[in-house]
Amino acid sequence: MNSKQRVLCAFHHEKSDRVPMNYLANPAINKSLASVLRVPDNCASVADALGCDIHEVTPRYTGPNLFAPIANRSVDPLWGIVTRWVENESGGYWDYCDFPLADADNETIEGWPVPNPDDFDYDAVARECRQFRHKAVCFGNPGLGDIMNTTGMLRGMENIYVDLLVETEAVLAYIDRRLASQLGVMERVLRHCGDEIDFIWTGEDLGTQQGPLISLDLFRNQLRPRHQQIVDMASAFRRPVMIHSCGSASWAYEDFIGMGIEGVDTLQPEAANMEPASLARRFGSRLMFHGGMSTAKIAAMSAAEAEQEVRDVLEIMMPYRGYCFAPTHMIQDNTPVENVLAMYRAAREAGRYA
């Protein structure tokens, strides 16, 4: 059985040879893993060496510069989000800062540019799909369709919660313009790549470690109708959808199912109401789960403990045949390499169906 078949079996809760696997990691830990595995320093090569099954494609933007550069900052070319480099003991990361629309007037928000869907290289993404056709190819990531995080990176998080509650007209209009741009890109990718795209990955962070970030009413009023547009387009092309949410998000799972979403990421076991056994009992026959490898816990474990953690999660999730083993987020730079190798080895060995 190949990766494509394996992942689609998980979406449909059908019998396969083993649990599919996915790999997500920060650059520094990826470099360390690549060195140990003796493969090129890129995520695709490391994922291949670990035996993973999913490859994400994103078309390259080829249009005009939408945002001016800023000294000592990185400016996202599509959305204008600003980040700065922050050092830590294990390396560093790009952290969100400045929040260019935090104090903006309506005219500035209304004029904030979004990319034209025509300004992307769809021929290149089609070639990439063909190159990785041995994998299950997905379009999208947790940022596709995301409303609160992505807008919060421009407005500041407190502002976006207030904007959604009081229905700030200019902000909602910007959110809809950005969504229209993303839907335009998604449609072009699906038309250009044909059957090479196997599923769609969208996202919206809905929880903290302790509970929901917003009410179910606010989710249904402001977020669900917008995410439904992504699900509806995927359905029109007969593609399953997986939605990401960090933290405690199981309160929204019945709505996800009602929307036609077939998979959820991430199975984050340390968050409230996210225990794998409970979720498997309640939703295991109706949702495919992606995650389970806690990036917070594995950094402090021994390799043997990490391996046992994997085996424990597999024992719970495998009977439902709708599970994809993966980290709950990007594997962090302070994670021991031997822990990561032990976990993927355990997933390959213990994740085989009888």
10 and 20 in contact (C-beta within 8 Å)? Answer: yes
Range of the domain at 199: 3-63+117-350
> Which residue is listed with tokens 């929880």?
207
Q: What is the pLDDT of residue 354?
A: 87
Q: What is the dihedral of CA 224, 230, 235, 236, to 10 degrees?
A: 130
Q: For residue 332, what is the domain's CATH number?
A: 3.20.20.210
Block mean pLDDT (10 aa), the chain, length 354 = 96 97 96 98 97 98 98 98 94 95 98 98 97 96 97 98 98 98 98 96 97 98 98 98 97 98 96 96 97 92 96 97 97 96 97 95
Separation CA 344–CA 326 (nearest Å): 9
Residue 83 forms part of a structural domain:
no
Residue 91 forms part of a structural domain:
no
Separation CA 121–CA 22 (nearest Å): 26
Q: What is the pLDDT of residue 142?
A: 96
CB atoms within 10 A of CB 146: 26
Residue 95 forms part of a structural domain:
no
10 and 198 in contact (C-beta within 8 Å)? Answer: no
Q: What is the pLDDT of residue 191?
A: 97
* Structure tokens that stand for 16 in this block: 């396969």
Q: What is the pLDDT of residue 91?
A: 85
Burial class, 158, CB count within 10 angstroms (exposed 0-12 / middle 13-18 / buried 19+):
exposed
Query: CB within 8 A of 114, min separation 6: which ones?
Result: 66, 78, 79, 174, 177, 178, 180, 181
- Report in angstroms the alpha-carbon separations of 330 from 22, 25, 43, 115, 334: 11, 4, 11, 26, 12
Separation CA 43–CA 337 (nearest Å): 15
Residue 100 forms part of a structural domain:
no
Residue 57 forms part of a structural domain:
yes
Count of structural domains, the chain: 1
161 and 218 in contact (C-beta within 8 Å)? Answer: no
Residue 43 forms part of a structural domain:
yes
Omega prior to 58 cis, within 30 of 0: no
Residue 77 forms part of a structural domain:
no
Residue 101 forms part of a structural domain:
no
* Structure tokens that stand for 198 in this block: 């196997």
